[in-house]
Amino acid sequence: MAGYRVAILGATGAVGTELLQLLEERQFPIAELKLLASARSAGQTCTFGGETLTVEATTAEAFKGVDIVLASAGGSTSKAWIDTIVAAGAVTIDNSSAFRMRPDVPLVVPEVNPDAAANHEGIIANPNCTTILMAVATWPLHLVQPIQRIVAATYQSASGAGARAMEEVKVQSRAILDGGEPVAEILPYPLAFNLFPHNSPLGPNGYCEEEMKMVNETRKIFGTEAVRVTATCVRVPVLRAHSEALNLEFAEPFSVDRAREILKSAAGVTLLEDWERNYFPMPIDASGKDNVLVGRIRQDISNPNAIDLWLCGDQIRKGAALNAVQIAELLVEKGWVKRKSAR
């Protein structure tokens, strides 16, 4: 297969680095790869396919001839460059929240709504990390019996705030173990040996932005406003991989055994349960893995029409970079992206 010209916008960040690794691991058909970042990151080098690539400062010229842009540089950067990228004829798969709720922008999880990507007009949005993980685990059940309500509690790792936040937790941990005081600069409060409700801005309804992303994005991905979602998002002292406790309510009872059988063969899901050992998915199990790990599926003893489940997923991989690469693979497979040139 002839290759595509691909650019990674935000190539030096945690997700950008993972994008680079995944493109190589999954042998994405690339004719040319451009690594783009801010001017202060320009000049750094990365290895891809045995070659050393130099990171370039982001300019309008850099997008000329590019077929696919994998953007993970933050919403403000995406908004600043999107018109230039679209005008250059490239398709942007954007990892920020900048375009997710725009009616003309598909919000895609390939295991759930792959056909939505066909309707892009130059932009496809990658959902929020917690939404992606939840959608992969719940959609197979929703197809069998529509979910009426989801009550979610998330336990979100430092990786969700980027590479600098991950490093900050390490520094804070050393400081505490050495008898010192932890200093918070990237996150608003010390996270080492601590936890706090997600620090995204609070809305007038008392929900933070992160929680409302799960509410609104799930409905858009599932293609229905009928699914009621409530979420409480918490930042926890884990370096990588998010966890979620989900309560799923249906119109009628949903057999736990049936749910287990469905998830055992669901795309993007690994069932991990050892009831005798009380061993269920943990962030340490999910880190570096592509699939969402699901376990501890049980009957809700307070509601005969509800079941509970627990999941862990790598926020940087499936929660961000992997989902974006899977969308790019989908575009190539279906011919939903035009190739300007091939080597």
- Which of the residues 129, 208, 233, 312 is marked catalytic? 129
| The one-letter amino acid at 110 | P
Q: Is 129 a catalytic residue?
A: yes
Q: Please check whether residue 10 is in contact with residue 36, taking contact to mean a CB–CB distance below 8 angstroms.
A: yes
Spell out a b/e string for 167-190, using b for 16 or more CB atoms within 10 Å of the CB, else e: ebbeebbeeeeeeeebeeeebeeb
Phi, psi of 200 (to 5 degrees): -70, 155
247 beta partners: 151, 308
Q: Is 148 annotated as a binding residue?
A: no
Q: Is 242 a catalytic residue?
A: yes
Task: Write the CA distances from 200 to 45, 128, 256, integer angstroms.
Answer: 33, 13, 35
Task: Write the CA distances from 63 to 55, 83, 88, integer angstroms.
Answer: 14, 11, 6
Q: Is 38 annotated as a binding residue?
A: no
Q: Is 42 annotated as a binding residue?
A: no
Q: Is 235 annotated as a binding residue?
A: yes
Q: Is 175 annotated as a binding residue?
A: no
Give the residue among 98, 97, 102, 66 at the shortest CA–CA distance from 84: 66
State the Cα–Cα distance between residues 317 and 160, nearest whole angstrom.
11
Q: Is 14 annotated as a binding residue?
A: yes
Q: Is 41 annotated as a binding residue?
A: yes
State the Cα–Cα distance between residues 133 and 294, nearest whole angstrom.
10
Q: Is 209 annotated as a binding residue?
A: yes
- Which of the residues 46, 233, 242, 312 is marked catalytic? 242
Q: Is 74 annotated as a binding residue?
A: no
List all residues 6 or more positions away from 4 whose beta carbon is below 8 Å from its beta carbon: 28, 29, 30, 31, 67, 68, 332, 337, 339, 342
- Give residue 119's Cα distance to chain centre: 21
CA angle 180, 182, 185 (to 5 degrees): 145
User: In 26-128, which residue ranges form alpha helices assigned H by DSSP?
Assistant: 75-87
Q: Is 315 annotated as a binding residue?
A: yes
Annotated binding site for NADP(+): 12-15, 40-41, 159-160, 315
> Where in the sequence numbering do the catalytic residues fall?
129, 242
Residue ranges of the annotated binding site for phosphate are 100
Q: Residues annotated as binding site for substrate? A: 156, 209, 235
- Which amino acids are annotated as binding site, given as ranges? 12-15, 40-41, 100, 156, 159-160, 209, 235, 315
